[in-house]
C-alpha cells in the first residue's frame, strides 16, 4: 500500500468485503479498493481498468512508485507544457500520470 500512500497520498482503512480483508483508500475524492486476488477464473470476464492522475511532478511520482515496488512503463512524454508518463503498481496495474510545467 505504500505505493499508493506515498506516491498518490491515499489513506487506507481495512474493511471486510464479503469475507475478504480489503483495503479502501481515498485519493482526491476517489475510492480505491484493493482486494486480495483469488483465482484467475474469478476475473475471466471482467474488464480491466486504467487509472490516470494529475500529479504535481511526474518524475517524483515515478521515483516513489519505483521505491515502493512499482516500475516505469515506457518513456516520459513531453508536449509543450504537458508531461505524460505511465507506471505499473506492484501488481502490474497501469497508472497514467499527467502534469503541466
The DSSP-derived string for the chain is -HHHHHHH--EEEEEEETTEEEEEEEETTEEEEE-----GGGGTTPPP--EEEE-S-HHHHHHHHHHTT-EE-SPPEEETTEEEEEEE-TT--EEEEEEE-
Instruction: Report the share of the chain in percent with pLDDT over 70.
Output: 87
Task: Name the residue ranges covered by the structural domains of the chain.
Answer: 2-38+49-100
Model confidence at 28, in pLDDT bands (50, 70, 90)? confident
Looking up cell 491515499, which residue turns up?
Answer: 10
Average pLDDT over residues 67-96: 92
70: number of Cβ within 10 Å: 22
The Cα 29–Cα 9 span in angstroms is 11
Instruction: State yes or no: pLDDT of 47 exceeds 60.
Output: no
Q: Which CATH number fits domain 2-38+49-100: 3.30.360.10, 3.10.180.10, 1.10.150.120, 2.60.120.430?
A: 3.10.180.10
What would the mean pLDDT of 48-69 be, rounded to a whole number?
Answer: 89
Q: Is residue 38 predicted with pLDDT exceeding 70?
A: no
pLDDT of residue 15: 85
Please determine, for residue 35, whether its predicted confidence score (pLDDT) is greater than 60: yes
Amino acid at each position: 500500500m505504500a505505493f499508493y500512500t506515498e506516491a498518490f497520498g491515499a489513506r487506507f482503512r481495512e474493511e471486510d468485503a464479503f469475507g475478504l480483508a480489503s483495503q479502501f483508500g481515498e485519493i482526491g475524492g476517489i475510492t480505491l479498493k484493493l482486494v486480495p486476488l483469488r483465482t484467475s477464473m474469478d476475473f475471466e470476464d471482467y474488464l480491466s481498468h486504467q487509472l490516470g492522475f494529475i500529479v504535481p511532478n511526474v518524475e517524483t511520482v515515478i521515483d516513489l512508485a519505483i521505491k515502493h515496488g512499482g516500475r516505469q512503463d515506457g518513456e516520459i512524454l513531453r508536449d509543450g507544457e504537458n508531461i505524460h508518463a505511465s507506471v505499473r503498481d506492484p501488481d502490474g496495474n497501469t497508472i497514467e500520470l499527467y502534469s503541466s510545467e
